[in-house]
Structure 1
Amino acid sequence: MNLGYIKAQTHGPEYSWHKYWSRKPANVISAYLKNLVPEHGIVIDPFCGSGVVLYEAQKLGFDAIGIDVNPTARAISGFLTHPVKAEEFKNIALNIIEELESKFGAKYMTQNGQKIRYLIHHVQVRCGACSSVNTFDPETHGKNGKKCEECGKKLSFGITNLIGTQIVDLVCIDSLETISSEEIARQTDISSEKFSSIIRFDKTLVNNKRTLTSDKYGVASYFTSRNFSILSEFAEKAHAINNESMKKALLLVLTASSAQASRLIASRGGLKTGGQAWTIPGFWIPPVHLESNPFIHLRARIEKLHSALVHSERELERDTSVKIMAKSAKDGLEELYKTGVKADLVFLDPPYGDSVAFLEFSAIWNAFMDEDVTYGDDISVSDRTNDPMTGEKYLEELTTVFGLVRKILKADGKALLTFNNISFDSWKGIIESFQSAGLVPLEVNYQDPAVISSKSQKALGGSYIGDFYVVYGKDDRKPTRYEDFADALTLYLHKVAGSRGGKVLYPLLQRYALEFWLENNLRAQDLQEIDKLIESKFTKDGSYLVSNSDIDCPTLSQILLEQIQSCGVSQISIDDDFLIKTKVIMREFGTPSFYEIKALLDSVIDKTVKDKAPELQLTFDFN
């Protein structure tokens, strides 16, 4: 077993139709499954999320069991692994849309018959000091610190003070004509109209400052009355479908469209669609936000889900069993253990501490699913007021889960952990939990994602961008003492810095130290020694740490140039295979990300190849 680095590919149509967090590259997951699971093997994913592992296992002919507390996660996983017929789905979904458009389509038409794409709303709040109503003005309130126009007191334009909105503009699909003030007033009235009597989807949210939610507000607060009415009518018709799989597929059309139809989308002025997707880490209503025509988004999602179903009809292996359990990871694994289930592979992608509160961020989706949830079953760290999940409790839950993993694995079974978190405290708990369970790392790799946001690319050293993939097996060997590897770790970190000109950003040095720690199965209780080592052997220089060693080692640029020159030909294709080989060679000095290698490549070509080997012709074929 030596999987090494696998170039991640972007998600295909079967995955790209619904937002979900922490979705792993399908081709990377497939490669690990092929290497770790025997023929007719059993795969268990106790945090199955959006179902990538279940679906890829199913395609490879493995039986799979997924567990998740999140109704939306289970619905997405079920859509992939138990798909409905593509054409039947499309016909039913379009019939619902056409019925709703015949009843409510006029709500998104101007008086002269133009279909509206979206409207722009400005939030209105009442001043707590003088009671005057203030409508948010980007020019006025964006520059004066959001002060009351009457008395000058500070204002908050959050949901707690919101008393209404004012429509200031609208954009039609086929017309750029100027919209009259009368039409704006008319649309303001229609937008606030509640024309559906359905209220069961207006679920109350939880108190949590981080997610910007309060139990004083329901899901309907995050939509205009017009849009919540339309979405509620769609949900009601979906719930009336008797076939459970078809019902869930139709509800996923709605949940996949809900953010774009909500008031959570800020207006970006001038964009064709009016704005971007919901990207804020919380339920925040921007002071200038959109009200998008939900019929447009629902129709677009129907097409995307239909494409996914067509793809699944070609790909799926029908002779496999996939079971999805509505339980916590702990309860699900306990039940499987008691019934004698044994796994060849348990895939572990637990919540990354407090990175994403999965159930809380899924609150709008789950409201339309109309399934009760118990937030305490989600082990994501959360400081919600009721039943919070502390960091200590989170690690206790993981320790229990990992102990059950060992029990449920076959003698030669494997556990595959993927984890992304910058906190040594979280890593200490993770490592300690595995060591307590008698599971030992067999292989450690760091995987880049297929796509990195532009924001992350500007600060590649500032955060974890990819994931550790750690393969564990059963082994009763005791973890190694840090003292036995202190010199080796010190040398390794100096080589990491030396190969990068003698200095390196702390998060990168931390990542390489963790990789070394995992590979050598060092004791969890010694993990704090990493920072002590770094403090004693490196000097801080702004954002960088400078090595105090005079160790002589090649730079990554030199290694890359030697790799190019070693090809011995005048024409070299710089493709994914070339870059992967380069990553393998550089592993001794801390495996760089694809993006670091690409930056090195630009430097090598500009400064070296053009001067020393002008006859060398390079072609580029990588993503």
Structure 2
Amino acid sequence: MKSNFKQLNLFEAEPTNTSPETIVLPRGYKGLAAFHKYWGKKPIESLAFLIENLTKKGDIVLDPFLGSGLVARETVIRQRLFIGIDINPVAVELSNLLIDLPSPNLLKEAIDKLEISVKSEIYKTYLLEDGKFATHYLWNGNKLNSVWQLSQKRNEGGKRLPTNYDYQLLKQFEEYQPQIPRPIKFFQNSRINTNDSLTLKDLFTGRALHNIDLLLGAIHKQPDTIKSALLLSLTSASGQMSNMVFAITGRGKTKSQPTNKIEVGSWVIGY
């Protein structure tokens, strides 16, 4: 949760560079495009080029599929009028944020306050008997295979077999009922492995839901001017707390060569 001021500088709004070099070699998921991993995001350089060269100030740009909101941002920065449509309310929230970015200083101050108010409570839920913190719990079906841990010295870590302590810690949150005020509706989609019988507890452990509630409670105490950015930050990060994170071997993610190293990935972007 510790804020990184260099990352917060992304919230200084400037038009995307539309030079031929950037259109041929777009930056992809960098800058503000990396803030929220919205499904189906496209390189913005070519779309910004079209806005810049096919419209003039005061013209209306229509985007019937808002998605990541980047077209809205590039349109407004170039002093065009904008109409956006999307069935997903997250897309609308994200677009509204990108056309009215908060001050990086205010955002940093808010994140620092969140850290003070909830970090220690969240850490307690991952505190192991030896004083280290669990970073991952590796499951095979319903069986807990190993616990990945990190010591208070950042570079020290390791993997170990689960103990009775681990099971007792998990059991504390088994019956936790999330405080999110409305039921979550899912739909049948085999591509992202969803069906209409899923609930929040199929996607998150009780411990994860407990910690998300802690964050939500703290975020809702923040001023409205900063609340949206914090909520969107939480939605972009909460996938890594979900059951959609997976661990596999043999993929060779970093060097494109088969490896026996356990690598972590996630399907959660599909949600």
Alpha-carbon offset, residue 210 of structure 1: 5.1
Query: Does the C-alpha gap of structure 1 residues 73 and 280 become closer, same or farther in structure 2, counting only changes over 3 Å?
Result: closer
Structure 2 matches for 1:98-177, cutoff 5 A? 98-123=116-141, 165-173=142-150, 174-176=156-158
Distance in 2 between the 1:180 and 1:43 partners? Answer: 56
TM-score by length of 1: 0.35
Alpha-carbon offset, residue 278 of structure 1: 2.0
Alpha-carbon offset, residue 276 of structure 1: 1.3
* 1:215 matches 2:232: no
Residue 236 of structure 1 aligns to a residue in which SS?
helix
Distance in 1 between the 2:193 and 2:178 partners? Answer: 28
Tell me if the contact between 1:264 and 1:278 (Cα under 8 Å) persists in the aligned partners. Answer: yes
1:192 equivalent among 170, 174, 177: 174
Alpha-carbon offset, residue 60 of structure 1: 2.2
What is the one-letter code of the residue matched to 2:104?
A: A
Alpha-carbon offset, residue 190 of structure 1: 4.2
Tell me if the contact between 2:136 and 2:149 (Cα under 8 Å) persists in the aligned partners. Answer: yes
Residue 176 of structure 1 aligns to a residue in which SS?
strand
Aligned to 1:248: 228
Aligned to 1:7: 24
Aligned to 1:226: 207
Aligned to 1:66: 84
- Aligned-residue CA RMSD in angstroms? 2.9
1:97 equivalent among 100, 103, 115: 115
1:278 equivalent among 244, 267, 270: 267
Residue 264 of structure 2 aligns to a residue in which SS?
coil
Residue 34 of structure 1 aligns to a residue in which SS?
helix
Tell me if the contact between 1:51 and 1:76 (Cα under 8 Å) persists in the aligned partners. Answer: yes
Aligned to 1:514: none
Query: Does the C-alpha gap of structure 1 residues 206 and 236 become closer, same or farther in structure 2, counting only changes over 3 Å?
Result: farther
Distance in 2 between the 1:213 and 1:9 partners? Answer: 32
Distance in 1 between the 2:67 and 2:229 partners? Answer: 16
Distance in 1 between the 2:60 and 2:164 partners? Answer: 64
Distance in 2 between the 1:279 and 1:225 partners? Answer: 18
Residues 263-299 of structure 1: per-residue CA shift (max 9 Å, x gap) = 0111125768x51132685xxxxxxxxxxxxxxxxxx
Alpha-carbon offset, residue 43 of structure 1: 1.6
Residues 228-263 of structure 1: per-residue CA shift (max 9 Å, x gap) = 1111221233234451x4221111111101221100
Query: Does the C-alpha gap of structure 1 residues 66 and 275 become closer, same or farther in structure 2, counting only changes over 3 Å?
Result: same
Query: Does the C-alpha gap of structure 1 residues 38 and 97 become closer, same or farther in structure 2, counting only changes over 3 Å?
Result: same
Residues 92-148 of structure 1: per-residue CA shift (max 9 Å, x gap) = 12322332222232111101110111111222xxxxxxxxxxxxxxxxxxxxxxxxx
Tell me if the contact between 1:107 and 1:190 (Cα under 8 Å) persists in the aligned partners. Answer: no
Aligned to 2:245: 265
Tell me if the contact between 2:106 and 2:226 (Cα under 8 Å) persists in the aligned partners. Answer: no
Query: Does the C-alpha gap of structure 1 residues 78 and 188 become closer, same or farther in structure 2, counting only changes over 3 Å?
Result: same
Aligned to 1:377: none
Distance in 2 between the 1:22 and 1:216 partners? Answer: 25
Residue 266 of structure 1 aligns to a residue in which SS?
strand
Alpha-carbon offset, residue 56 of structure 1: 1.3
Residue 246 of structure 2 aligns to a residue in which SS?
coil
What is the one-letter code of the residue matched to 2:237?
A: S
Distance in 2 between the 1:29 and 1:197 partners? Answer: 40
Distance in 1 between the 2:46 and 2:60 partners? Answer: 18
Question: Where does the alignment leave 5 or more consecutive residues of structure 1 unmatched?
Answer: 124-164, 282-360, 362-623
Alpha-carbon offset, residue 58 of structure 1: 2.2
Tell me if the contact between 2:117 and 2:218 (Cα under 8 Å) persists in the aligned partners. Answer: no
Aligned to 1:456: none
Distance in 2 between the 1:115 and 1:213 partners? Answer: 32
Distance in 1 between the 2:219 and 2:160 partners? Answer: 38
Distance in 2 between the 1:224 and 1:180 partners? Answer: 17
Query: Does the C-alpha gap of structure 1 residues 19 and 62 become closer, same or farther in structure 2, counting only changes over 3 Å?
Result: same
What is the one-letter code of the residue matched to 1:172?
A: Q
Tell me if the contact between 1:57 and 1:63 (Cα under 8 Å) persists in the aligned partners. Answer: yes
Query: Does the C-alpha gap of structure 1 residues 197 and 180 become closer, same or farther in structure 2, counting only changes over 3 Å?
Result: closer
Query: Does the C-alpha gap of structure 1 residues 79 and 190 become closer, same or farther in structure 2, counting only changes over 3 Å?
Result: same
Tell me if the contact between 1:202 and 1:220 (Cα under 8 Å) persists in the aligned partners. Answer: no
1:88 equivalent among 106, 113, 116: 106
Alpha-carbon offset, residue 9 of structure 1: 0.6
Distance in 1 between the 2:204 and 2:73 partners? Answer: 33
Residue 130 of structure 2 aligns to a residue in which SS?
coil
Distance in 1 between the 2:63 and 2:227 partners? Answer: 24
What is the one-letter code of the residue matched to 2:97?
A: F
Aligned to 1:137: none
Residues 529-559 of structure 1: per-residue CA shift (max 9 Å, x gap) = xxxxxxxxxxxxxxxxxxxxxxxxxxxxxxx
Query: Does the C-alpha gap of structure 1 residues 108 and 271 become closer, same or farther in structure 2, counting only changes over 3 Å?
Result: farther
Distance in 2 between the 1:215 and 1:29 partners? Answer: 36
1:181 equivalent among 163, 176, 181: 163
Residue 186 of structure 2 aligns to a residue in which SS?
coil
Distance in 2 between the 1:267 and 1:251 partners? Answer: 27
Distance in 2 between the 1:106 and 1:223 partners? Answer: 18
1:36 equivalent among 30, 33, 54: 54
Tell me if the contact between 1:167 and 1:188 (Cα under 8 Å) persists in the aligned partners. Answer: no
Query: Does the C-alpha gap of structure 1 residues 190 and 120 become closer, same or farther in structure 2, counting only changes over 3 Å?
Result: farther
Alpha-carbon offset, residue 199 of structure 1: 4.1
TM-score by length of 2: 0.75
Distance in 2 between the 1:184 and 1:65 partners? Answer: 51
Distance in 1 between the 2:264 and 2:161 partners? Answer: 20
Distance in 2 between the 1:279 and 1:90 partners? Answer: 26
Tell me if the contact between 2:128 and 2:166 (Cα under 8 Å) persists in the aligned partners. Answer: no
Tell me if the contact between 1:204 and 1:219 (Cα under 8 Å) persists in the aligned partners. Answer: no
Distance in 2 between the 1:35 and 1:74 partners? Answer: 26
| Count of aligned pairs between the two proteins | 236
